[in-house]
Amino acid sequence: MTNATRRDALGLGAGLAAFLSFRPARATTAAMSEAIRDFAGTVKRQEGGITLDLPPLVENGNVVPLTVSVDSPMTAESFVKRIALFAEKNPQPHIGTYHLNPRSGRASVSSRIRLADSQAITAIAEMSDGSFRQTSAEVIVTLAACVEG
Amino acid sequence: MARTLINVPASAKRGEVIEIKTLIQHPMETGFRPGANGRILARDIITKFACTYNGEEVFAAELFPATAANPFLAFTTVASESGTFRFTWTGDNGFKQTETATISVT
């Protein structure tokens, strides 16, 4: 009897651990999921093949430089159509959408954005064959944008 | 007219991938921020940017309040022929500005 309970407890523990590890790394807010659905629909997005380059520690959330680039030959057969950026803790998660075409030569875009809080930034690229690639980067923001005064 | 900074190489070899950097003076008021009187300031942002190369679009961007003030965008294109780049920014309250730059391709 004691043995069975112990086994049950262990089984439950293992199940819980499995559940926790299969959960996404962070909870995505409803607004964020909606913004991503608007951009990418419900197509499965593969991780990798896209790089989001931004400083891990940002002093001023009003101006955060970033570069996003995608591994793509950028030929007429295979190119990146669109790249979108999302930040889940911003009042409006969608940061921007960049439209590219084979004449871009390289799939690389730089810009400066605002961040309201320390958070994960997600970049999603739509390829010409209809597939999507995704990556995220964590940023710590010391002085947030949208602070009063 | 807002001030702009546009960086396009004056000349390039045919087929070379060139980087274009653009910056325009604009407050990009988010619409989430209270002003001096405590009221939320109305949104005033640039919503669209497009770059055409001899009339054909090579890059476009949709911008949202999360783009920093004085929007900066850097992108690349293949130098295919001598000609003109035309940059257009469109935004709230009827904002529209067009700038041009030329390149000679050898």
What is the pTM assigned to this prediction? 0.83
CB contact under 8 A, A96 and B30: no
Q: Which domain holds residue B65?
A: 4-105
Q: Is residue B95 less than 8 Å (CB to CB) from chain A? A: no
Say which CATH architecture domain A28-143 belongs to.
Sandwich (2.60)
Total structural domains in chain B?
1
Task: Give the chain A residue whose CA is nearest to the CA of B53.
Answer: A103
Compute the distance between CA of residue A65 and CA of residue A47 in angstroms, rounded to an integer.
23
CATH of the domain at B10: 2.60.40.10
Please give chain A's pLDDT, 149 residues, in tens.
Answer: 455 676 666 665 555 555 444 444 444 678 888 889 889 888 889 898 999 999 999 999 999 999 999 999 999 999 999 999 999 888 889 999 999 999 999 999 999 999 988 999 999 999 999 999 999 999 999 988 766 54
What phi and psi values does residue A61 have, to the nearest 5 degrees?
Answer: -70, -10
Q: Which residues of B touch A112 (CB under 8 A)?
A: 67-68, 71-72
- The number of CA neighbours under 13 Å toward the Cβ of A112 is 17
- Under DSSP, the state recorded for B43 is P
